[in-house]
Structure formats: C-alpha cells, structure tokens
Amino acid sequence: MQIDIVSLSPADSISDSAAVYKIVMPKDVDYAISREVWLVLKTLIDGGAKYLYADFKENEEIDSSGLSMLIRLANLVKEKKGKVAVANLSQKNQRLLSMVNVPESISVFSSETDLLDSFR
C-alpha cells in the first residue's frame, strides 16, 4: 500500500485541508488488506484529512469487505465535510461499484486529472 499527498495549494503551504491523500490500492483487496487500509485512512481522517483519493490503477480484485470499507470511509469523511473519490477503475470494478449502489458520497473518475480538478 502506498500513500501520497497531492497538494491543492502552493507547495510551501500544505495543510490537511488543502491536501488530497492518495492511496494506491493493492492488486488484491480482501478482508486483511481492507482492514489495514481502513486503519491507515481512519487515522488520517481523525488527524484532519478531508480529501481522500483511492487509485485503482494496480488493482485487479476487490471483495465485499473492500467495498464495505470504501462505503464506511465515505460515510466517515462525509461527516467531516470532506470527499472521497476513486479513479482508474477496471471495467470489472466499475460494473461491481454500479451493481452495489455505491453512495453518492464516493465520486468516480476515469482519470486522476479529472479527479484532482474536482477537489479544487
């Protein structure tokens, strides 16, 4: 799991309210990985992070626990007046998300550029 900070403001003034925390989702997201991702991202949110971006470019498989984690994450961020977005989903994962009625609080984008523009 890799986490990067993408600044939405000048490089010398990064703050939790002006940064998007990007997590590159692993190849397979199962129960164990979902739990690890949840703990890391919940810690960031509890520390003040409001904008989270899950990049699925390396992901091939996400199970029900991974979907549940995304929904829980979106609900928590929504309470904090933040935003969760995902990008670079495979066609398989796009179909899966549409089948389970992912909440409106999770925005889905085809590219990172479009996603980051939505946070501005």
Both structure tokens of 99: 């089948």
Domains of the chain in sequence order? 2-7+18-119 (3.30.750.24)
Global confidence as pTM: 0.82
Show the 3-state SS of the chain: CEEEEEECCCHHHCCHHHEEEEEECCCEECHHHHHHHHHHHHHHHHCCCCEEEEECCCCCEECHHHHHHHHHHHHHHHHCCCEEEEECCCHHHHHHHHHCCCCCCEEEECCHHHHHHHHC
pLDDT at 30: 93
pLDDT averaged over every residue in the chain: 84
The model's pLDDT over 24-39, given as tens digits with 9 standing for 90+, comes to 999 999 999 999 999 9
